[in-house]
Structure 1
Amino acid sequence: MRNFFILGCLLVCFCVGSGKAQSLPRYLVYFKDKANTPFTIQNPEAYLSARAIARRQRHGVAITPADFPVNPTYIQAIGQTGAKVLYTTRWLNGALVEASDAQLTAIRNLPFFKGIERNLPLAPATTAGIARLGAVNEKFGTQETVDHGRMRDQLAMLGVPELNDNGFQGQGIIIAVLDAGFSRANELVYLKPLFDSKRILDTYDFISRNTNVYDDHFHGLNCLSTIAANQPGVMVGAAPEASFVLYRTENEYSETPYEEATWILAAERADSLGADIISCSLGYNLFDDPAYDYTRAQMDGKTALVTRGARHVARTGMLLVNSAGNEGNNAWRYITAPADADSILAVGAVFSNRTYAPFSSVGPTADGRIKPDVAAQGAGTVIGNDLGTGGVSTGNGTSFSAPLIAGLAADLWQAHPNLTAQQLREVLVKSGHQAANPDSLLGYGVPVVQRAQEIILQDYSPLATEPTPLTTAVLYPNPAQDAVYIRFGSQVPSSTEVQIISNSGIALTRRIPVTRMDVGISVAAFTPGLYFVKISTPQSVRVLKFIKR
């Protein structure tokens, strides 16, 4: 975890390798508005998945113009200048483009052009990437191969086995993992159940611009393993039955502002697909070109481009879990972006005895807020590697403590689906082992499941209100093979109906009247993947989700 650049803007011009033609500079161009857009708040199905819409409804998050894609006529106009549009960003209302000086001048003259926050020079034909590989230990953490290892101790510190033993293993929760690559994840035995049950719902490499995320760095694999590994007797992760989307946003051979932009693009894609949690073990403060380095004062929760993207994540009803950084022993010492954002969980690292690991970045933020928020084991963490058919290693870094918290969050959310993302965040913070005396090393400390459950029952229990057919409805089994059942804990009105919806928003069954306390629907003919059950009464609607194996 390490750097990134300054607020929004002309993003890098990066080229990798020598002896090849240099690409044109890359710029993040901002637009004035989304005027005359073909998209509307009334028809969100045109740009958000059914799951993304359901998540907003469940959390009381309004759909706003910030959710609209960039106006397509703006993109067409940029293309007419000869510039190449690589990606668009709806949250920042802009486009990442490759453009010559003449093309950039033409873009500046377009009536909807707002600005480019900062001009960046062309990157050199060869980057400092190879020379700075020594810094990878600081950014990604270190890895040491061992003969054997189990994940139980690091999970027991959080109380995860208790949740898992009670059947809460992340079922129905989608976790987006943003990283530098997931080397051979699709070939390894400890992740085989994940692929066999088709719970990898989406992949994309925003650096190489293709869908293969399995041919690059192993860091994302290490992080994914702490959540998704499922090889009983060897290693089982925190939420082995969750579903995942995997995005490569980081180029391990260089450190440029371009990676902050790809982070935001990946977060937007995760949002549109309806992800619940983003787990990220990346961070930005220093770059190959020192001209773009952040200062300590800019770790204020609002300045870094990637931090501004993180704030958008929180506004959509997703929970962002991000590593605090591995700068504790370095001159920088402090957290890195986007860990400085509010409304997210920045995760520090401890040893197995819950004492502070000295490499873990410290707080507070530049504006005085407590960071990190929570902590988990990041020293001697058991992780999976990409050697052979996949083996056990240990690693040091907040890179590995963050996904442990993400997995815990998935299990708790499955157990308590009535919680919003921000309520879940608050529960995890309040349940920290040093919540009564937070500090700048571990924040509120290591969350403890037993305490979290007490807080939920005390502060967020739905039993405090009159039960309704919607609040008492439970879907099972999940994942499902041949059929799903919806059980109602209270009498349902005769007008209640259920219907199965695809992930793309298409109705797959007729509306089925509810005439008894248990309703069964055959899904045997459905292809494996994510589906929704929409329960409707004249007064309200609830959407439940399930995975078809």
Structure 2
Amino acid sequence: MRNGVFGENLLLGPGSMIWATLKLCPCFLAVLLCAVGLGAQQDERSELVSWEDGRRAVAGEFIVHFSERSCDLSVLREANRVLPDPEAYGRLVRGIRERNAAQRAPFSLRLRQLGGVVIEHYWIINASAVRIDPAKRAQLAMLPGVERVQPNYIYAPALTKASNARSHNSDAANLMTVNSRTVKGWGVTVAILDTGIDVRYQKSNRPHRLYYSGGSSSARNRIKAAFSVVSGKTGDDLTGHGTMCSHAVGGASWSTLAKVDNGCAPECDFVGINIASYANGSTTSAHLTRGWQRVLADVQRYGIKVANNSYSGSPDPSDATQQALDSAVVNGDVLVTVPSGNNGGNIRSTQAGYNGLSVGSVDNGSRKISSFSGRGTTSFGKVVPDMVAVGAGVYLAVPDQESRVSQVSGTSFSAPLVAGAAALARQANPKLSALSTKALLLNSTEDSSAGAGKGAGYMRAELLTEAAVAQDVFEDKIDQSAKKKLYPFLIKKAGRHSVTITWQRQKFASSAYENLDLRIYDGAKNLLASSILSGANSYDKVEWTFSAPGLYWAEVTASSLLNPHLTFAIAGLGQRSSIPVPTLTKISSSQTPVYGGGKLTLTGTRLDTVTQVLVGKQSVIPLSASPGSLAFVPPFPKLLGKVQVRVKNLAGTSNVLTLEYLPVTQPWLVGLQKLTSFMAVRDELWMRPSEVGIYYLSPSKQPSKLPGIVDLGIGNGFKSLSHFGVFVPNAIGQGSVQWSVPPGFAQISFFVQAVVIDSKTPAFPLQSSNLVQRIVLF
């Protein structure tokens, strides 16, 4: 520990007051750091003040959110999906930064006119950090383009062995081999956004031995970079908190002492990002946002795939820090972990972490929820935590000390264990995205139902790694036009099974959520289990026990979409190719009228696995299916004539059969029977494409006939017959008339009918449609 608020010996000495207190009160460290942040040494920061919501903030500093932006970060997202090119990626970042600064130039000028200055224009989110007289906050909020102004809040840093078989079993995961390498996080860089990491052990030129492969200072140094986003500071650890978190992620055992253990990913690489604004380790909204911006900027330079930030924060997803976190996940493809907090049911300072993972703490061995572990529903609707890991009584490294470890407790230390497990998964399967990794993490947990406050359950690193190697996850999209998707999957062994879906938000400035629901059915489409969590949680998980192996179905339904489509990951169904492609042998009729033809039946093999019937370029969901047959209703075509019919399951698409659409032989009128005043009505007439329909209305059901010319069922001998409109058909013979029900016709009953005439070759008698009786209810 460097000289800071308390001094080195006071904090770290084995006989010190704080050392003793840590043993008596496991969550004292986080509480102490938070308390010191209220009035201790400010490290060249402004005076602290309390805002109306009771949270601490920097006097005269604000985060300004804007209503519009011109910088599109999707180019970074795409760049991270192709082969890495750090130089090209760096040019993209510089271009975005320059365009963003140019767009903010008018605001900067107006701010200076108010006597304020820009601290930083962020490009990771649509916001800027500024310094101005607090009395001018209202004027600041009124500047053109400003959407809202938030204070620059202040946040604090929030092993019996946790890696063995009794716990998360990362030891077993580390023994697995993929591509001739043990699964220990090789090639995966984890960013630690914290108080720094111990890069200068006892002020030497080497880091603590936990950062070397195998714990030997003569082996590979796994620190790729260590720096501070706060002016005047370095990447070295200020309080010890960041070093402890990095040990939990992937520290290597450097000693034979019984309490010195590997972290989850003892061969991962590190980037240490010191975000501490104050000597006690606390940070501000401005510096934490800047930290996430550095993560996104350096994703390709350092190969960052995972990041951990064990700090308190805001449960508001529109807060600047949470927007930046979510942006780093989406645009940088980084799996992020954050703690659920150390105040039990008081989660007012728990990070939202919507696109990341909120991690709670359980006691080692018993797996009981730790008394301090943050849990409950935030004021913005999210249920925390998302999952749990051991965070109580954990033995972790102390900066500048290689002959001892410190026993500490807090969700600050359970979150990095999950980050380390994510590094294992992304080494075991380098093709995994952050989204798919999150789905696997949540789906491979245990004990989700064993008491409240565990979220999706207790992390098991070896189950996660096995699922990553087996590719037990895939991604798909759901959109506004088709808000339901069905996925068949085979279970070969009876027992307990789980399926998980995850998604990400991309409208970072909004507090509105997109939401998907998950349901599981047996082969006969009987509902077995469902999960319909609030959209404030970006996942749904279903667990159920089954007695018989066989075919099952997962149904994903969009209950809320803010964008044209939403990408999601689904874990627990196995690989897409685990079920063979279906085949077709026959269709019950090779011809069908364009309207009124009813359902058709397909015969073939593996039709119970079909998710879509493809008729031409259109897709329909089967009405029912068995292994040998499938029923469906053909959709309206774009044109009359022959189209291809195929079926599709997760493995692929079947062979082709042919279906011919025929025009109707008799005109058919379609319309509502019960109406109300002012109702907008759309009536349809189906006829041949060469015909035109004449629409009539009458209060009488007495017929009107002209022998050999026309035979209507309404009009009372043409005495009470009114012309009502003309139906002009499209290419398949569908015509429509739109009208509105006028007022003053309540309880009035009337009749409508159409007569069609061929516009090319008129023939008599003219054909009449069916008649429709109507009543205006009110």
TM-score with structure 1 length normalisation? 0.61
Does 2:285 correspond to 1:260?
Answer: yes
Q: 1:238 aligns with which of 259, 264, 269?
A: 264
Residue of structure 1 in register with 2:123 after alignment? 90
Percentage of matched positions with identical amino acids: 21
Does 2:329 correspond to 1:314?
Answer: yes
Gaps of 5+ in 1: 4-11, 124-128, 130-134, 141-148, 286-298, 467-549
Residue of structure 2 in register with 1:399 after alignment? 412
Residue of structure 1 in register with 2:68 after alignment? 33
Shift of 1:333: 2.9
Residue of structure 2 in register with 1:295 after alignment? none
Shift of 1:17: 4.7
Partner SS for 2:377 = coil
Shift of 1:106: 9.5
Amino acid at match of 2:309: C
Judging by fraction of residues, say which structure has more helix.
1
Residue of structure 1 in register with 2:208 after alignment? 188
- Is the CA contact (8 Å cut-off) linking 2:212 and 2:221 kept in structure 1? no
- Is the CA contact (8 Å cut-off) linking 1:327 and 1:334 kept in structure 2? yes
Does 2:340 correspond to 1:324?
Answer: yes
Does 2:309 correspond to 1:276?
Answer: no
Structure of higher RCO (CA pairs closer than 8 Å, 6+ residues apart): 1
- Is the CA contact (8 Å cut-off) linking 1:327 and 1:335 kept in structure 2? no
Q: Where in structure 2 are the equivalents of 1:80-479 lying within 5 Å? A: 81=112, 83-99=116-132, 113-118=145-150, 140=158, 151=161, 153=163, 157-166=167-176, 167-183=182-198, 184=200, 186-193=206-213, 197-206=220-229, 208-210=230-232, 212-232=234-254, 233=256, 234-251=260-277, 259-274=284-299, 275-284=304-313, 299=315, 302-316=317-331, 317-328=333-344, 333-334=346-347, 336-338=349-351, 340-353=352-365, 354-366=367-379, 368-389=381-402, 391-435=404-448, 437=449, 440-453=452-465, 455-456=467-468, 457=470, 459-460=472-473, 464=576
- Is the CA contact (8 Å cut-off) linking 2:63 and 2:151 kept in structure 1? no
Shift of 1:153: 4.6
Amino acid at match of 1:392: V
- Is the CA contact (8 Å cut-off) linking 1:335 and 1:361 kept in structure 2? no
Q: 1:95 to 1:215 in 2, by over 3 A?
A: same
After superposition, the C-alpha distances for 1:113-171 in whole angstroms (9 at most, x for unaligned) are 42442468xx9xxxxx9xxxxx98xx54xxxxxxxx77465576212112212211111
2: CA distance, partners of 1:443 / 1:24: 37
2: CA distance, partners of 1:20 / 1:350: 36
- Is the CA contact (8 Å cut-off) linking 2:375 and 2:383 kept in structure 1? no
Residue of structure 2 in register with 1:55 after alignment? 80
Partner SS for 1:34 = coil
Partner SS for 1:238 = coil
- Is the CA contact (8 Å cut-off) linking 1:2 and 1:336 kept in structure 2? no
Q: 1:71 aligns with which of 84, 93, 100?
A: 100
- Is the CA contact (8 Å cut-off) linking 2:358 and 2:385 kept in structure 1? yes
Q: 1:14 to 1:93 in 2, by over 3 A?
A: farther
Q: 1:408 to 1:268 in 2, by over 3 A?
A: same
Amino acid at match of 1:73: A
Partner SS for 2:364 = coil
Shift of 1:392: 1.8
1: CA distance, partners of 2:296 / 2:360: 25
Aligned length: 400
Partner SS for 1:71 = helix
2: CA distance, partners of 1:18 / 1:373: 35
Amino acid at match of 2:228: D
After superposition, the C-alpha distances for 1:63-101 in whole angstroms (9 at most, x for unaligned) are 999x94362224555665375433222132222123458
1: CA distance, partners of 2:415 / 2:120: 28
1: CA distance, partners of 2:355 / 2:44: 45
Q: Where in structure 2 are the equivalents of 1:443-522 lying within 5 Å? A: 443-453=455-465, 455-456=467-468, 457=470, 459-460=472-473, 464=576
2: CA distance, partners of 1:442 / 1:459: 23
- Is the CA contact (8 Å cut-off) linking 1:327 and 1:361 kept in structure 2? yes
Q: 1:262 to 1:381 in 2, by over 3 A?
A: same
2: CA distance, partners of 1:25 / 1:368: 31
2: CA distance, partners of 1:448 / 1:19: 44
Q: 1:261 to 1:14 in 2, by over 3 A?
A: farther
Identify which range, 92-101 or 212-221, moves more after superposition: 92-101
Shift of 1:398: 0.9
Amino acid at match of 1:314: V
After superposition, the C-alpha distances for 1:380-426 in whole angstroms (9 at most, x for unaligned) are 11211124446322111111111111101101111022322122112
After superposition, the C-alpha distances for 1:178-201 in whole angstroms (9 at most, x for unaligned) are 112335565423334488635323
- Larger Rg: 1 or 2? 2
Q: 1:74 to 1:414 in 2, by over 3 A?
A: same
- Is the CA contact (8 Å cut-off) linking 2:350 and 2:374 kept in structure 1? no
Shift of 1:378: 0.8
Judging by fraction of residues, say which structure has more strand.
2
- Is the CA contact (8 Å cut-off) linking 2:163 and 2:264 kept in structure 1? no
TM-score with structure 2 length normalisation? 0.45
2: CA distance, partners of 1:19 / 1:190: 32
Amino acid at match of 2:289: I
Amino acid at match of 1:200: I
Identify which range, 87-96 or 437-446, moves more after superposition: 437-446
1: CA distance, partners of 2:450 / 2:277: 35
Residue of structure 1 in register with 2:591 after alignment? none
Q: 1:101 to 1:382 in 2, by over 3 A?
A: closer
- Is the CA contact (8 Å cut-off) linking 2:424 and 2:465 kept in structure 1? no
Over the aligned positions, Cα root-mean-square deviation in angstroms equals 4.3
Amino acid at match of 1:348: G
Partner SS for 1:314 = helix
After superposition, the C-alpha distances for 1:504-541 in whole angstroms (9 at most, x for unaligned) are xxxxxxxxxxxxxxxxxxxxxxxxxxxxxxxxxxxxxx
Partner SS for 1:383 = strand
2: CA distance, partners of 1:170 / 1:453: 11
After superposition, the C-alpha distances for 1:327-354 in whole angstroms (9 at most, x for unaligned) are 11xxx5337432x333321111111112
